[in-house]
Amino acid sequence: MDRRTFLWTSGLGAFVAAGPSFAEVPGQPAGLGEGARASAVLEALPGKRALIKRSYRPPNFETPLEVFRDTITPNDAFFVRYHLAGIPDPDPAQWRLSLGGAAAGKSLSLSLADLQSGFEQVELPAVCLCSGNRRGLSSPHVAGVQWGYGAMGNARWGGVRLRDLLAKVAPAAEAMEVLFDGADSPVLERTPDYVKSLPLWKALDENTLLAFTMNGEPLPRWNGAPVRLVVPGWTATYWVKHLDSIRVETQPLKNFWMASAYRIPKGKFPVVDRFLTQETETTTPITEIIVNSLLTSPLEGQRLAPGDPLLVEGIAWDGGFGIASVDVSTDGGVHWSRAELAPELGRFSFRGFRQVFPGLSAGRHVVMARASNRAGTTQTLDLIFNPAGYHNNVVQRIAVDIV
């Protein structure tokens, strides 16, 4: 057993010993599979509050619904997602980042202090969202971590622009993709290392960052300390944690995590950003986050007295085009009204919305919220099924009883 694996397994014993809560976890989606609901427990990793455990090893923990009443997700409530079980706990003072590759004019090795003092410092609010968020709501069932609503979070990421670092290694004219590797490691040798790539144009985007702070604090261990890649507008599969190597290459990366995993049927979803060097005749890598929303009020099964006002509120987001509107309904989508949007923190951020309805008549009311973005796309009423359970942006239906 190597040091990284020991660090994770010893940490696992520490938090399991603390004792999980086996009571029904509140706020889980009604459509989540029975097995996923029954196996979920509230558990706290070191440095985190109690989150919804979806798997222990590797650690996959979901943010509870009530946290999303705030637009910015606190660090201790931010979801945890890993593919590999060897979780490092690096010393920031000893950390080094290597830059090079076949299409790099030269190689560099940088420390955290180099990043903090040698480049322009920037901060950007952005949603980090697992590609498989809401996978547990797929029908028919699909394999993978059975996430509910909470495999996502919104933080203010602080660090440096990736393009400023790449300028130091002078990418060649034939550069095609930029590869990223982190220090998390597989327990078994046959498990493929988690290495991802970006097209050069996306790596050079002014919003693509190497982040070492999160909401004004050093990046937490479980969210990629000391430095992680931040790719605003794209799903979290590209947000490589515990970053230690960047390579500029002339050929597409053809490992498991690019050629086989995190792919969707070509032309299935209304996306703008395409990763052309990784496309095939039938599939394409998942890229941008599609427009979506989450209701935080009312709660499923909530009961109100006749005459009580009904507060409908939540958050909406997309891949960076910006939220244009959120429409809400209290009669299952027969009639819609325009919700009030909170001020925009940034185009990659969650955006709050709310609408208060005066006293409703007695009976059951089905509350829905439907977000649209500035690119002209709107949430779907029906699941766009795909075998991996990605991009679930179906409009929620929350039943409320007036009695």
pLDDT confidence of residue 20? 55
Half-sphere exposure of 338 (CA within 13 A, CB side): 7
Q: Rounded mean pLDDT of 343-348?
A: 97
Confidence of residue 24 (pLDDT cuts 50, 70, 90): low
Confidence of residue 26 (pLDDT cuts 50, 70, 90): confident
Decide the pairing of beta strands 398-402 and 303-304.
parallel
310 and 233 belong to one structural domain: no
> Would you list the DSSP string of 327-355?
EEESSTTSS-EEPEEPPPS-TTS-EEEEE
In a domain, 299, yes or no: yes
Q: Helices (DSSP H) in 59-118: which residue ranges?
A: 112-118
- Domain boundaries, position 188: 96-285
Residue 219 burial by CB count (10 A; 0-12/13-18/19+): exposed, middle or buried? Answer: buried
pLDDT confidence of residue 33? 85
In a domain, 348, yes or no: yes
The percentage of the chain sitting over the pLDDT mark of 70, rounded to a whole number, equals 94
**Amino acid at position 232, single letter:** P
Are 129 and 350 spatial neighbours (Cβ–Cβ below 8 Å)? Answer: no
pLDDT confidence of residue 189? 84
Q: Is the pLDDT of residue 5 over 80?
A: no
Q: Is the pLDDT of residue 6 over 60?
A: no
**Of the residues 285, 300, 325, which one is the last residue of a structural domain?**
285
142 and 244 belong to one structural domain: yes
**What is the SS3 assignment for 211?**
strand
**Alpha-carbon gap, residue 40 to 337, rounded angstroms:** 36
pLDDT confidence of residue 37? 86
Q: Is the pLDDT of residue 22 over 70?
A: no
pLDDT confidence of residue 21? 53
**Alpha-carbon gap, residue 80 to 53, rounded angstroms:** 9
277 and 296 belong to one structural domain: no
Q: Is the pLDDT of residue 202 over 90?
A: yes
Domain count along the chain: 3
CATH number of 313's domain = 2.60.40.650
311 vs 26, higher pLDDT: 311
Q: Rounded mean pLDDT of 86-114?
A: 97
CATH number of 262's domain = 3.90.420.10
pLDDT confidence of residue 16? 43
pLDDT confidence of residue 283? 97
Q: Rounded mean pLDDT of 6-12?
A: 43
Q: Is the pLDDT of residue 261 over 90?
A: yes
276 and 296 belong to one structural domain: no
pLDDT confidence of residue 8? 42
pLDDT confidence of residue 7? 42
In a domain, 172, yes or no: yes
**What is the SS3 assignment for 65?**
helix
Q: Rounded mean pLDDT of 160-184?
A: 98
Q: What is the mean pLDDT of the chain?
A: 93
Predicted model pTM? 0.93
**Of the candidate ranges 191-200, 357-366, 371-380, the one whose mean pLDDT is the lowest:** 357-366
In a domain, 87, yes or no: no
**Alpha-carbon gap, residue 88 to 333, rounded angstroms:** 48
374 and 251 belong to one structural domain: no
**Alpha-carbon gap, residue 116 to 124, rounded angstroms:** 16
300 and 398 belong to one structural domain: yes
55 and 168 belong to one structural domain: no
In a domain, 258, yes or no: yes
108 and 182 belong to one structural domain: yes
105 and 208 belong to one structural domain: yes
pLDDT in tens, 59-94: 999 999 999 999 999 999 999 999 999 999 999 999
In a domain, 84, yes or no: no
Q: Is the pLDDT of residue 152 over 70?
A: yes
281 and 296 belong to one structural domain: no
In a domain, 89, yes or no: no
pLDDT confidence of residue 95? 97
Q: Is the pLDDT of residue 14 over 50?
A: no
**Of the residues 285, 314, 344, which one is the last residue of a structural domain?**
285
Q: Is the pLDDT of residue 393 over 50?
A: yes
Q: Is the pLDDT of residue 1 over 70?
A: no
**Of the residues 77, 107, 127, which one is the last residue of a structural domain?**
77
316 and 345 belong to one structural domain: yes
The percentage of the chain sitting over the pLDDT mark of 90, rounded to a whole number, equals 87
Q: Is the pLDDT of residue 308 over 60?
A: yes
Q: Rounded mean pLDDT of 280-284?
A: 97
Q: 338 has which bridge partners?
A: 327
**Of the candidate ranges 1-5, 314-318, 329-333, 343-347, the one whose mean pLDDT is the lowest:** 1-5
In a domain, 83, yes or no: no
pLDDT confidence of residue 321? 98
**Of the candidate ranges 30-44, 97-111, 274-288, the one whose mean pLDDT is the lowest:** 30-44
161 and 255 belong to one structural domain: yes
